[in-house]
Structure 1
């Protein structure tokens, strides 16, 4: 049984700017397990949500430290994995969880969504992201998306350091473009807004009339997340009664405890596998959210097809897929994620269903 860990680069075709900064390229980690003629793969990387941060060097050190224990594991016996995973940070845990699931699914010759008891025949339109920029820059980015795919779901980043006037100008410009697009194509187009914690509660309230006028269908993480659980709730609780569209938590929701804490004050949460620590916890959160009548988004950071393909295993449970990062890469080393127009489907191959372009096999 062989384990390996290596770094690989990912470069964006168009840099992405949000309220906390701009990203044009990242390094990621691929964790691999080769055993019985099967290779399982998992991806992870650093992330910074403003109140929690994990660097790639630290994640790599965690995984290197865990390799001796991983080499002693029987990958068929998932019951022995939990004690090891519990000692790791969420992004390190994500890599281990995904590589073991990928190997396990291939061993059983089944896709993970089927092993989870889900229906993999769904096809759901993913949103595509418009980062912060000048009005002209955002308009150009939307036109670029429309040359690449239909892009019927648009996520607009707001919370600009330039203030609410700039946010309002961006919102009006994009809403106008979508209205024109609807008239030209006859297709419904959906506008979402994500402030990435860039507003105060008062600013979020001030933006409500503009959001309604633009036909925005959801508002994601309008106020900053906090490490203090009660302080983190205050913004959502104060805004909920003033928000006439679904209110979705992203940076504030990492695990099941966060979901239960947030549930009375939000309409949905954004699952990202680097936050949840992989698919196993994400599935648990999704099932509980279903019982609580909360809607789900599944999102990404600067993720390749490998990590987004893992997230797509949950598509049957997701109302708002937000998995466009791999569509904005010039050097994605993976393939296998089905895309029809702008609709994603769970991969049909065994395991995570994603192949390495370097190896030519999954």
Structure 2
């Protein structure tokens, strides 16, 4: 097995602001593994959840030091991957896990969703994201999304440094122009416990369908989610607090859903396991992204039949995406029928 690793830049058409800052462009890593005449591709890149920070340079150094072991070991079957990749950090593991899955599917000539026995009729529309901004800019962003796709599900970023009054002003401005679209809210950990207790019933009264990560992620943060239970009849979804199966199990009694992002889970192996366990526990799933290309989102899209709330819109906001996919009919995303991840360079 041979490997190559290189950097590439992704530039947003519209910069995105959340409670922790603004992103206009990122530098990611493309991993290519060659085996049996096929090339498997994986993607990773630096990101900051407030609690944990990874830089692309750090991940590049980690992978460059580890990948010769994979080259020496040669092809491994999927059952061996978790132990093989265990020494890597979650985002470094993601790149290798995706490339191996891509190779596996190509060697078998099938897309991953079919190898997993999933039914594409279960796919749901993706949400589109409105970042923190003055009211007029948020309305302008929604209008721009609607020029691109139906935007039947809208995710509004809250947790403004300008306080709860600005958050409420954004919601009040959006409600009259939603036109029947579903409104989701993501605070990105930007509220205090007191602020969350104030906002949850207020949002529920206005028809918001879920609130994602109301409190900042921290050790033992399940206590914060527990303290919000009963505050309002609105689902709470853990994002920055939930990285792996262990996190899902500790949060399960206190949330109604979790957001799976492949850079957090370390790729598809852990994400698929988490999705299966979540289903047994009665938890709903969101499937999210950072500033990711169609390669990472195309990989995540393999899980779409298992997901209630897809949130895979980052590649739809790129000016320079080097990959094509996943397939879209309006705002309904579906994984490709191509072998492996089904994602190809443009």
In the superposition, the TM-score normalised over structure 1's length comes to: 0.94
CA separation in 2, counterparts of 1:83 and 1:259? 20
Question: Displacement, 1:76?
Answer: 4.8
The 5-angstrom pairing of residues 246-285 of structure 1 reads 246-285=235-274
For residue 176 of structure 1, give the secondary structure of its aligned residue in structure 2.
helix
For residue 173 of structure 1, give the secondary structure of its aligned residue in structure 2.
helix
Aligned residue in 1 for 2:169: 169
CA separation in 1, counterparts of 2:326 and 2:244? 26
Question: Displacement, 1:55?
Answer: 0.9
CA separation in 2, counterparts of 1:173 and 1:300? 26
CA separation in 1, counterparts of 2:39 and 2:279? 33
CA separation in 1, counterparts of 2:121 and 2:237? 26
Query: Is 2:230 the partner of 1:225?
Result: no
In the superposition, the TM-score normalised over structure 2's length comes to: 0.98
The 5-angstrom pairing of residues 66-105 of structure 1 reads 66-105=66-105
Query: Is 2:137 the partner of 1:137?
Result: yes
- On the 8 A contact 1:73/1:80 being kept in 2, the answer is no
Distance 1:80 1:123, change over 3 A: closer
Aligned residue in 2 for 1:291: 280
Query: Is 2:54 the partner of 1:54?
Result: yes
Which sits farther off after the overlay, 201-210 or 69-78?
A: 69-78
CA separation in 1, counterparts of 2:135 and 2:311? 22
Question: Displacement, 1:244?
Answer: 1.2
Which sits farther off after the overlay, 211-220 or 254-263?
A: 211-220
CA separation in 1, counterparts of 2:274 and 2:78? 19
CA separation in 1, counterparts of 2:82 and 2:273? 14
The 5-angstrom pairing of residues 1-362 of structure 1 reads 1-178=1-178, 181-182=179-180, 189-226=181-218, 228=219, 230=220, 232-357=221-346
Deviations 1:49-78 (A, max 9, x none): 101111111111110011211112332533
- On the 8 A contact 2:6/2:30 being kept in 1, the answer is yes
Question: Displacement, 1:201?
Answer: 1.3
- On the 8 A contact 2:106/2:340 being kept in 1, the answer is yes
Deviations 1:191-235 (A, max 9, x none): 000000000111011112431232100000000000x2x2x1121
Which sits farther off after the overlay, 258-267 or 68-77?
A: 68-77
- On the 8 A contact 1:122/1:346 being kept in 2, the answer is no
- On the 8 A contact 2:123/2:307 being kept in 1, the answer is no
Number of equivalent positions: 346
Q: Could you tell me which runs of 5 or more consecutive residues in structure 2 were left unpaired when the two chains were aligned.
A: none
For residue 228 of structure 2, give the secondary structure of its aligned residue in structure 1.
helix
For residue 23 of structure 1, give the secondary structure of its aligned residue in structure 2.
strand
